[in-house]
Structure 1
Amino acid sequence: MVTESNIDVMILGAGGGGYPAAFRLARNGKSVVMADPIGNLGGDCLAEGCVPSKAVREASLARTWPDKYPLFGLRGTKPDVDWRAVLAHKDRVQALRYAQHRAQIEESSVVFHKGRGRIVDERTVEVTTEGGELYRYHAKHLIVATGSRPRILPIPGAELAHTSHDFFRLGADLPFPRRLVAIGGGYIGLETASMLQNLGAEATVLEVTGQILPGVDPKIARFLHSALAPRLRILLDARVTAIERGVAGDRLVHYEQAGEAKSIEADCVLMATGREPVLPEGLPMLGFPPKGTIAVDDRLRTMQPQIYAPGDINGRSMLFHSAVYQSLVVADDILSEGRGNKTVDFQSVPFTVFTEPEVAWVGQTEAEAAQENVPTVASTYSYRTDSRAQIFDEDGLIELVFEKKTGRLIGAQIAGIEAAQLIAPLALAVRAGTTAGTLSYMAFPHPMISEGINHAARAVGL
């Protein structure tokens, strides 16, 4: 039996691209139905990504505190690691947030299904729930926010590797990896290798390109490589060709480097080679590509104006906080019947890598601005001159990039402690077009690294 209904908005996916729009639209009187196979809010970010990985990461950082004890005149021993207890802490945080999200759903008028949606035509979606019920919805608007999944290298033995799902899902039960090999030197591979090394693992990162964090400002990538190299074995220009099972049940990762075939042993292999969009069934029938990203404009509208595609599925900015931002823009466009003035400024979305040390960036680099023939003035503030960084004996940098003609901030890169916190006000400054003059005459708290923003702005002389 099929239950059939006419509604205002159908949303496929309850992650960052889906649920913020759902609640805003419902609060404004729209009839909204949302379907997601996880059965709760948060998408992969909460299920196996941002939140659980950072719970493990913070546990790993807590274990490193004794390494700094001699600097402060303290003495103590480094704690042992109870891996199961670390995972239990991660599970506790996930369970807490899932309970919080269930309450949000119950308090709203949004109809939520744990299930998968199939697109029948440009305004019709069928949802099959976990229990086998079938619902058919005819919607004025469709939001496709089905997110992404780990990309798997098409190599022999790929099934022997694990992904972030296996490490960070609720109830994860992987044994602690004593010898980890991470395939991929992007943020997922580096973050996971860094936190597991802090917890006692030997970690190797294999990156196919000539730098970690491919595509990122080389200055930032070099800084992070130098900071991580004493702890992680980082191999560049290393193309992985196969994974095989060893005689003792371990793994043998084969790769090529400088034309030479090599291999490395591990008891755990992490496949961290990026993420790819997940397209809902039936979408290609509407003229969309069968795989890859969905093209959108700055209001997240697709080639069919009643269909929106916020979040990872469009590939523009594959970050949870960016998906939330995009979802709210979609809601505004629907509520304004396409006449609103809210658009997504992808340049002002910050990106943070939660390694130790952290790195973060927003907007354009000098090189990117030069490609667009935009004259710039840049200034770099060294942590070595910063009072708080000196307290912790930490190195790092803040680089600000200003448009020369107007003096407005168009980009920022940070490497070092507290980068993840510092990038937020700089993202706001990029979005608002804040000038070097304004930042120069801001009073930042002392002694905090945020003062470096003030110093760097003054140094450009605009």
Structure 2
Amino acid sequence: MTIESNIDVMILGAGGGGYPAAFRLAQSGRSVVMADPIGNLGGDCLAEGCVPSKSVREASLARTWPDKYPLFGLRGTKPEVDWCAVLAHKDRVQSLRYAQHRAQIEASSLVFHKGVGRIVDERTVEVAAAHGELHRYHAKHLILATGSRPHVLPIPGAELAVTSHDFFRLGADLPFPRRLVAIGAGYIGLETASMLQNLGAEATVLEVTGEVLPGVDPEIARFLHAALAQRLRILVNAKVTAIERGASGDLLVRYEQAGEAKSIEADCVLMATGREPVLPEGVSILGLPVKGKIDVDDRLRTKHEHIYAPGDVNGRSMLFHSAVYQSLVAADDILSEGRGNKTMDFPSVPFTVFTEPEVAWVGQTEAEAARENLATIASTYSYKTDTRAQIFGEDGFLKLLFEKKTGRLIGAQIAGIEAAQLIAPLALAVRQGTTAEILSYMAFPHPMISEGINHAARAVGL
């Protein structure tokens, strides 16, 4: 049975790129239908990414507190790890949020289908619903927000590795890895290795390039490498060639380093080599210039102005909070019938790495500005001189980059405690073009790391 309907907006995907637009449009009186194979909101972020991984991460950090006890004049023992209970905590948080999202759907006019939508033509999508009926929607606008999935290296034995899905999905039952090998020193590999080491694992990270967090500001990468190398075994310039199952049941990861063939044993291998966009079924019918991702402009429009592709599917800024921002920009463009002034400001989207210690950044680096022949002044504030960092016995730094001509902030990098929290106001400052003078004369609470913004801004003398 096929049910045909005419609607205003059809949305494929209920993650960060899809559901903010869905609610914004529905609240504005548009008829909106959304389809997602998970059957709820949140996409991979809630299903197996940001939310569950940070639930485990916070459990791991709680266990490290006794390591700091001597600094504060305290004594105590380090707690034992009940891995099943840690996973149960993660499941509790996921389930709580899924229940919250179900209530949001029920309270809205949104029509939601659990299922995969298939593009039929530029304005038509078919969705096979759970009860067997086929829905065919003819829409004025399409929003393609099908997200991303873990990238898997095309190497022999790749199927023996696990991904973030296996660790963090709802109901995950992966045994605790006593000897973890993470392939890839991007944020997923480093975060997972860091939290599992805090919980008692021996962790090794293999990175094919010459430094962790490839492509990131070198000062940030070097700081994090040095800090994590005290707890993790980090091998750079290590090209993984195969994964094998040994006679004893253990895994053997083979890699090449400096022209020499090497191997390392593990009981768990994490494939953490990045993420890749998931293209909607039938997307080829649209005639879009697709090369593993969907090209969009800063209003998230494809070459068809009534079709939008916010979030990971466009590959421009593959972060949940960026997807939410993009989703709202797309919704506003639809509501204004393409005449609005809302655009996506990709440079002001902050990036955080939830390792221990944290690092975060936003905007341009000195090298990027130099490539644009942009004269800049950088100012670094060392945690060694910061009151709060001294209280916690922590090292780190905060670096601000200003355009010399205008004095406006164009980039920031933070390494150390509270980096993930502190990057948000700096992202706002980058977005607003806030100047060094304004940042110099703002009152930040004492004694907090945020005071470093004042100190760094004053030091440039603009």
TM-score by length of 2: 0.99
Cα deviation 1:50-104 (Å, max 9, x = unaligned): 0000000000000000000000000000000000000000000000000000000
Assess if the C-alpha contact under 8 Å between 1:279 and 1:291 holds in 2. no
Deviates more, 1:2-11 or 1:291-300: 291-300
Q: CA deviation at 1:249?
A: 1.1
Assess if the C-alpha contact under 8 Å between 2:13 and 2:36 holds in 1. yes
Aligned to 2:321: 321
Q: CA deviation at 1:133?
A: 2.1
1:81 equivalent to 2:81? Answer: yes
Aligned to 2:309: 309
Q: CA deviation at 1:248?
A: 1.4
- Aligned-partner Cα distance in 2 for 1:133–1:62: 49
For residues 181-220 of structure 1, the aligned pairs below 5 Å read 181-220=181-220
Assess if the C-alpha contact under 8 Å between 2:47 and 2:169 holds in 1. yes
Q: CA deviation at 1:280?
A: 0.9
Q: CA deviation at 1:361?
A: 0.1
Q: CA deviation at 1:332?
A: 0.3
Q: CA deviation at 1:17?
A: 0.2
Cα deviation 1:367-405 (Å, max 9, x = unaligned): 100100110000000000000000001000000000000
Aligned to 1:286: 286
Structure 2 letter corresponding to 1:301: R
1:36 equivalent to 2:36? Answer: yes
- Aligned-partner Cα distance in 1 for 2:208–2:55: 29
Assess if the C-alpha contact under 8 Å between 1:9 and 1:30 holds in 2. yes
Q: CA deviation at 1:236?
A: 0.2
For residues 8-407 of structure 1, the aligned pairs below 5 Å read 8-289=8-289, 291-407=291-407
- Aligned-partner Cα distance in 2 for 1:313–1:132: 28
- Aligned-partner Cα distance in 2 for 1:166–1:289: 33
Q: CA deviation at 1:132?
A: 2.4
Q: CA deviation at 1:250?
A: 1.1
Cα deviation 1:3-31 (Å, max 9, x = unaligned): 10000000000000000000000000100
Structure 2 letter corresponding to 1:47: A
- Aligned-partner Cα distance in 2 for 1:3–1:92: 37
Aligned to 1:447: 447
- Aligned-partner Cα distance in 2 for 1:188–1:347: 21
- Aligned-partner Cα distance in 2 for 1:133–1:259: 58
3-state SS of 2:352 partner = strand
Aligned to 2:418: 418
Deviates more, 1:85-94 or 1:288-297: 288-297
Cα deviation 1:324-349 (Å, max 9, x = unaligned): 00000000000000000000000000
3-state SS of 2:135 partner = strand
- Aligned-partner Cα distance in 2 for 1:269–1:128: 36
CA RMSD of aligned residues (A): 0.6
Assess if the C-alpha contact under 8 Å between 2:289 and 2:295 holds in 1. no
Assess if the C-alpha contact under 8 Å between 2:252 and 2:263 holds in 1. yes
Q: CA deviation at 1:441?
A: 0.3
Assess if the C-alpha contact under 8 Å between 2:7 and 2:138 holds in 1. yes
Q: CA deviation at 1:251?
A: 0.4
Structure 1 letter corresponding to 2:438: T
Deviates more, 1:283-292 or 1:431-440: 283-292
- Aligned-partner Cα distance in 1 for 2:289–2:253: 34
3-state SS of 1:154 partner = coil
Gaps of 5+ in 1: none
Q: CA deviation at 1:288?
A: 2.5
For residues 424-443 of structure 1, the aligned pairs below 5 Å read 424-443=424-443
Q: CA deviation at 1:131?
A: 3.1
- Aligned-partner Cα distance in 1 for 2:124–2:37: 19
Q: CA deviation at 1:228?
A: 0.3
Q: Kindly, what percent of the aligned residue pairs are identical?
A: 86
Q: Does the C-alpha gap of structure 1 residues 247 and 289 become closer, same or farther in structure 2, counting only changes over 3 Å?
A: farther
3-state SS of 2:456 partner = helix
Structure 2 letter corresponding to 1:357: P
Structure 1 letter corresponding to 2:240: V
The runs of 4+ residues in structure 1 deviating greater than 4 Å are: none
- Aligned-partner Cα distance in 2 for 1:62–1:90: 14
Gaps of 5+ in 2: none
- Aligned-partner Cα distance in 2 for 1:168–1:289: 34
Assess if the C-alpha contact under 8 Å between 1:381 and 1:452 holds in 2. yes
- Aligned-partner Cα distance in 2 for 1:327–1:343: 11
Structure 2 letter corresponding to 1:440: S
Cα deviation 1:393-446 (Å, max 9, x = unaligned): 100000000000000000000000000000000000000000000000001000
Structure 1 letter corresponding to 2:265: E
Cα deviation 1:130-158 (Å, max 9, x = unaligned): 33221000000000000000000000000
- Aligned-partner Cα distance in 1 for 2:46–2:291: 25
Q: CA deviation at 1:291?
A: 5.0
- Aligned-partner Cα distance in 1 for 2:77–2:438: 47
- Aligned-partner Cα distance in 1 for 2:133–2:242: 42
Q: CA deviation at 1:290?
A: 5.6
Q: CA deviation at 1:289?
A: 4.7
TM-score by length of 1: 0.99
Assess if the C-alpha contact under 8 Å between 2:113 and 2:129 holds in 1. yes
